[in-house]
Structure 1
Amino acid sequence: MGLIEYEPGTAFPGVIGRTAEESTPAWPRPVRAVPGAPNVLMIVLDDTGFGQFGCYGSPIATPNLDALAQGGLLYTNMHTTALCSPSRSCIVTGRNHHSNGMASITELATGYPGYNGNIPFENGMLSEMLREHGYNTYMIGKWHLMPSEQESAAGPYDRWPLGRGFDRFYGFLGGDTSQWYPDLVHDNHQVSPPYGPQDGYHLTEDLADRAIAFIADAKQVAPNKPFYLHFCPGAMHAPHHVAREWADRYAGRFDAGWEAYREQVFARQKQLGVVPADARLSRHDPDVPEWETLSPDARRVAARMMEVFAGFLSHTDHQIGRLLEFLRTTGELDNTLIMAVSDNGASAEGGLTGTTNETQFFNNAPESLEESLAKLDELGGPTTFNHYPWGWTWAGNTPYRRWKRETYRGGVSAPFLVHWPAGIAARGEVRRQYAHLIDMVPTVLDVLGVAPPATIRGVTQAPLHGVSFAHTFADAEAPTRRRTQYFEMFGHRAIDHDGWRAVCPWPGPSFAEAGIPFGTDITSAVLGDLDAHQWELYRIDEDPTETRDLAAEHRDTLIAMVAQWYVEAGRYGVLPIDGSALTRLMVERPQITEDRKRYTFWPGTSSLPGAVAPRVYNRQHSITADVEIPESGAEGVLLCHGASTAGYTFYLQDGRLHYAHNYVGRIVHRVASTDPVPAGRRRLRFEFEPTGEPDIAKGRGAPGRAQLYIDDVLVGQTDMDVTTPVLFNPGLLTCGANHGSAVIPDYQAPFRFTGTLHSVTVDLSGEVITDSEAEMRAVMARQ
């Protein structure tokens, strides 16, 4: 008799006798995928506009993404939520972002079901669904789908990738990270990059390597077992990091400016059929200066920033190509369902002029044009944390208006490609059917013939909100099945319904036209006025770029659309409408531990993300290290927080005790002990005492006196006229080493401590002075 298998949970079909001779064995059936089931590959780029892929008319070379379009389908009507984490929650769950608790980013969570930042377990992820059907599931790259205070080694881990159905994870948990010195996690623990940028390291290349390795690991054992790979490189989010040779490929290509880029891309989009031949280009954005009004130096800086972005995108495309080539050589490409998309429109978080170091922007200390010029040759390299000006954001979303965080089409429209040679006969065709990110999971399940599960790990599942668009694969004229979709982000609202689009911009159609700043809350009185007078109406199937407001001519239609928005809002947990940002940032949230004034760290432990690190800004504090110094001496970092862009470091070098504070990459304040640290067990201490008030609005943290002590004896002192006022980002807090880029150029990272370090204690005392508005800007820029 052959092998007998039975479904786990059903009756044992074998025979159990007194002895094995009298018995017949049977085995619980392993979970196996249906023979021939396709692999699934989701490629999710960050902050990439509708007009930035080559196949969408851009002059930026993206040959591998273009090849997906040429060998498959290019969609022109895919919609996002306008922001990173909310969109990503839609992609993996098939539910609307408010129903996922992801009204915004988790750092701005509030105490309402649609806003609390925790994706409910009844909204299962595609990884959890497919693993139950015999798939290997891999998460590579950016996660950012859980509260930031849960990103530390204290957990909880149930919302980390491995807690949500992924077999393996390699990437980063937060909203952004350096491409040269990333904050990496492998499965459930922190790791360091395998080598440094001086040896050619780049995060996107590393992620492609890991994706290939994960697939190969399983395929060499079980070649017929399909995989689901969620591939989410940090690109194209800032920092725009890439080796110079990639950026130099675009030297001079953007010297004509952003208006010229838009005209060129728009013309190309019409040729490609990406937009209708009679479409109008949306207006010149009031917040964007005309290129010719910039000084020659300002144009030079802006053009180079775009060259670096373009090189970064081409480099990212190349790494995607390496992954695709691996699938091709292993015979897997044809039977892999690939969907490539961006999480929202291009990002305006580089500000009006762009920046070579976003940490300066976070801390209200923007660089001057002269400082930008001085860093021009370093743009994209390890010493920068750069982002282009919002003129290029506007251009990147051609032909649409506005950008990320807003629900005009520039914020919510995304490039979207589908490639599956074994299952789609069409090659190089355009599809214009309306779709939203919530439709991706239902489409995958439809293709696989898999019903949404009723339960996952004992949790009853909520219905999917998306609808499959698999019927469009074979029919360019197939009707759109999604008739209605709402949008809301920071009170900026919109709704699409049967070819109409209504938009209620908040706080206004642009910054210049708003009169009040972004993040201003919406009161009941204001909401009444908005609903009565501020909604705009477009016939989107005739005017896809929102150029003709028909609100006055079609008042009845508009009223019905607004009413429908409220129906959708009630259905999916959108209420209460909240236009605030700063207020949300300051909301008290549940923490895994009580607030503390004293923190103790040990060497060799995991580094801490900023959300759970001691907040030393603008306040009296001390750092005390309990060490043993051998007779031969010791050197290395005791404690540090930050990176070359900003931070502090407490360390031994040349036998002496040192402390250095890097003020936003602009100034380094240093103090050293007058005498060497003696051998033996020692108590090494740094103290900071503010000597004045900070001027946070002008980017200046509290001045203060820095003092060094050895066994309570003062051995060094200096006055610092300015400190970092708001935030060290990027960079973790690390005990016993300096992971990532060195906080100061005086030593080479990781500069591990060579003596015996028992512990380091940070003690906070005195009043803390902070700027919540600046902290909010920093949080938003990490999306």
Structure 2
Amino acid sequence: MFPTRTAILTGYNHHSNNAGAIMEVATAFPGNTGIRPQSITPIADVLRMNGYSTAAFGKYHETPPWEGSVSGPYDRWPTGSGFDKFYGFIGGETNQWNPMVYDGTTRVYPNVDDPNYHFTTDMTDQAIGWMNTQQSLTPEKPFYLYFATGATHAPHHAPKAYSDKYKGKFAQGWDKIREETLARQKALKVIPENTTLAPKPADIKDWDELTADEKRLFERQMEVFAGFAEHTDAEVGRLVAALEERGELENTVFIYLVGDNGSSAEGGMIGMFNENTYFNSVQETLDMQLERIDELGTELTYNHFAAGWAVAGNTPFTWTKQVASNFGGTRNGMVMHWPAGIKSKNEIRSQFHHVIDLAPTIYVAAGVPAPKTVNGIEQRPMEGVSMNYSFDDAAAPDTRKTQYFEMIGNRAIYHEGWFAGTIHKAPWEGAPRRPLTEDIWELYNVNDDFSQSNNLAEQNPEKLEELKKKFMEEAAKFNVLPIDDRSIERFDPTIAGRPDLMNGRTKLVLYEGAKGIPENAFINVKNTSLTITAEVEVSTNANGVMVCQGGDFGGWTFFLLDGKPHYSYNWVGLETYTVSSPQKVTPGKHTISLDFAYEGGRGGAGTATIKVDGTKMAEGKIAKTNSNTFGIDESADVGTDENTPVNPAYADKEKFTGKIKSVTIETLPANK
């Protein structure tokens, strides 16, 4: 998740980086603006200025979405944040079979038609290639490589051979899996022997209460997830092997941070075959998913698993990603490998640390001091503390005594072995449980209660009040205040108060060649009436997209097929509504337009009317529309349809065969 990622990459708390939540819900409040202050310089930039080659591969999700187009600025893209090389995606997730990939700041198009293509494999090839080239040219020069896969974040896309290896491995269900996992954790001594299994959230059903169909679906969801995870480990293994082949593994600090802030529960109670339904507040049914069960993990789905598996993945804790107030949403395993610098081998360390402690650990290992001034700008004092003291002393006392946690109202404080937190909203809940001032806090002594199973709030109210006060002190110190518990509504920049490239514009004129435009940099055509006017010149039986937005899993497209104009609306990958002209457009110059009369509300219906040179050619009802988004990794395009097609009807005919002078999109009030 973006807040954690920025903390990893800088050594400062997420609110200090103005990253209180993901960039897509940034606001005007301090701590949440989405703009990293110049008083904080990322590790990559510090190391680059100290003679390192630097590269990032895979997921970034640090660039403010309003800066994600060719209009820039590029200051907060990876190559503007200290990385010499970047190959990956800048959004929160991507389709592993059809990714939206950038090389530096340039959109590139991998060979996704290769039957063996998968983005994790692609990014690993790119990382190994970069490293081999850098070592060929400057073997004496150290390098810093940030390798962040899209896995196991949704969509869970895995080669079928990997997923099928796990058939039947999860038939016992999530309750039994939690028990088995706890036993393995104790056997491996990664948790204390006295750890008890914390209760599941009340909303998660016992496995034994599920129907046969539910069990069948949920089993397959987890098989696909497991395949995705193993495939990722195999690719990381290739990276390690490449380091070993270069003779660099012994003296490379290799930090393998495992997890996604705890496993993710956005899949809700039954999961989904298209995560875009979640982002548009559309509830999939069990029957819908069972119809697609054999497609899970393939390019035909954009899938996520049920929250019960997320809870099981976070054993022995109760909660999941998004819940910053429980270790289930924050605690992750980490492996550190540095034979030349760490004498201890195959040992476990249990000191309490936070991801902001990675940066100072790297600085100490590299012999590079954290900067006090960068480009004439005074830097904030480093908020992380080094973990190097623990490398050769398992019993060394913790150096991190205090750490706050907060995201969208879920908040907590750790202080000297005690932990106080409040569950303000579960990931699958549409609204907070109660006002912030009425939240119910829990208290745990995590020195004795690793899994946070024994709430001591009633027995020790004085300690709870002490920690609540401590939280407010830390919140004031690190830009956490005011606490903003809004969620979905913050996706609207007008409501959130953040920058918007369109800045309220109701008219956008697009020209031929305009493509790959992210949704956050495009005019908002959702929940409104609009007119699309294409000025074109065509020959007989012209084909291709005049303008489109989105892809397989949600979007709209205005196109010609065998000379006939069509408008298709793909509603969150569930239903497609198409209005088609029965007549062909004659060769020559034409004005082809689409009027959409919206009926109001969010995600409501409307009537689409196609005209050619002012003459009405077709009219039809669009029964449902996307209320919030067309897809995180899809784009708006003129003259083509990048990534996945909105409508497969034009499959190999998406490139416009005529000439596009301009396409004008104008939004209007509903029913106008």
TM-score normalised per structure 2: 0.95
Counterpart of 2:342 in structure 1 is 424
TM-aligned CA distance change 1:89 to 1:521, over 3 Å: farther
Deviation at 1:372, TM superposition (A): 0.7
| Residues 633-692 of structure 1: per-residue CA shift (max 9 Å, x gap) | 4311111111111111111111222221112222222222222221122222222123x4
One of 284, 298, 306 as aligned partner of 1:389? 306
| Residues 271-292 of structure 1: per-residue CA shift (max 9 Å, x gap) | 0001111111111321200111
Matched, 1:285 2:201: yes
Report 1:614-763 matches (<5 A).
Answer: 614-630=523-539, 633-690=541-598, 692-694=599-601, 696=602, 701-730=603-632, 731-748=634-651, 751-763=654-666
One of 448, 461, 467 as aligned partner of 1:561? 467
TM-aligned CA distance change 1:749 to 1:421, over 3 Å: farther
**Maintained 8 Å contact 2:89/2:101:** yes
One of 349, 361, 365 as aligned partner of 2:278? 361
Q: CA RMSD in A?
A: 2.0
Deviation at 1:758, TM superposition (A): 2.1
**Maintained 8 Å contact 2:421/2:442:** yes
Matched, 1:607 2:524: no
Matched, 1:145 2:62: yes
**Maintained 8 Å contact 1:94/1:438:** yes
- Partner secondary structure for residue 589 of structure 1: coil
One of 505, 511, 527 as aligned partner of 1:596? 505
Report 1:136-215 matches (<5 A).
Answer: 136-192=53-109, 194-197=110-113, 199-215=115-131
**Maintained 8 Å contact 1:511/1:518:** no
Deviation at 1:371, TM superposition (A): 1.3
- Partner secondary structure for residue 210 of structure 1: helix
- Partner secondary structure for residue 429 of structure 1: coil
Counterpart of 1:24 in structure 2 is none
Q: Distance in 2 between matches of 1:520 and 1:216?
A: 52
Q: Distance in 1 between matches of 2:355 and 2:444?
A: 22
TM-aligned CA distance change 1:168 to 1:749, over 3 Å: farther
| Residues 75-118 of structure 1: per-residue CA shift (max 9 Å, x gap) | xxxxxxxxx11111110111111111111122222323212111
**Maintained 8 Å contact 2:558/2:568:** yes
Q: Distance in 1 between matches of 2:235 and 2:468?
A: 44
Q: Distance in 2 between matches of 1:317 and 1:136?
A: 25
Q: Distance in 2 between matches of 1:425 and 1:131?
A: 28
| Range 385-394 or range 104-113, more displaced | 104-113
- Partner secondary structure for residue 57 of structure 2: strand
| Residues 306-357 of structure 1: per-residue CA shift (max 9 Å, x gap) | 1100000111111111111111111122221111113411111011110001
TM-aligned CA distance change 1:173 to 1:433, over 3 Å: same
Deviation at 1:364, TM superposition (A): 3.0
TM-aligned CA distance change 1:593 to 1:621, over 3 Å: closer
- Partner secondary structure for residue 336 of structure 1: coil
Q: Distance in 2 between matches of 1:339 and 1:717?
A: 58
One of 478, 495, 507 as aligned partner of 1:572? 478
Deviation at 1:433, TM superposition (A): 0.9
**Maintained 8 Å contact 1:153/1:606:** no
- Partner secondary structure for residue 430 of structure 1: coil
Q: Distance in 2 between matches of 1:511 and 1:314?
A: 26
Q: Distance in 1 between matches of 2:327 and 2:478?
A: 21
- Partner secondary structure for residue 123 of structure 1: coil
**Maintained 8 Å contact 1:741/1:749:** no
**Maintained 8 Å contact 2:322/2:427:** no
Q: Distance in 2 between matches of 1:554 and 1:708?
A: 69
Deviation at 1:583, TM superposition (A): 5.7
| Range 336-345 or range 288-297, more displaced | 336-345
Counterpart of 2:141 in structure 1 is 225
Q: Distance in 2 between matches of 1:166 and 1:710?
A: 49
Q: How many residues align?
A: 666
One of 409, 429, 432 as aligned partner of 2:327? 409
Counterpart of 1:296 in structure 2 is 212
- Partner secondary structure for residue 621 of structure 1: strand
Deviation at 1:391, TM superposition (A): 0.2
**Maintained 8 Å contact 1:738/1:750:** no
Q: Which amino acid aligns with 1:419?
A: H
Structure showing greater relative contact order (alpha-carbon pairs closer than 8 Å, 6 or more residues apart): 1
**Maintained 8 Å contact 1:520/1:580:** no
Counterpart of 1:4 in structure 2 is none
| Residues 228-273 of structure 1: per-residue CA shift (max 9 Å, x gap) | 1111111111110112111101011111110011011100000000
| Range 147-156 or range 714-723, more displaced | 714-723
TM-aligned CA distance change 1:245 to 1:111, over 3 Å: same
One of 407, 418, 422 as aligned partner of 1:504? 422
**Maintained 8 Å contact 1:89/1:102:** yes
Q: Distance in 1 between matches of 2:29 and 2:65?
A: 18
Matched, 1:271 2:177: no
TM-score normalised per structure 1: 0.82
Q: Distance in 2 between matches of 1:724 and 1:110?
A: 23
Deviation at 1:361, TM superposition (A): 2.5
Q: Distance in 2 between matches of 1:749 and 1:362?
A: 29
Deviation at 1:435, TM superposition (A): 0.8
Report 1:438-449 matches (<5 A).
Answer: 438-449=356-367
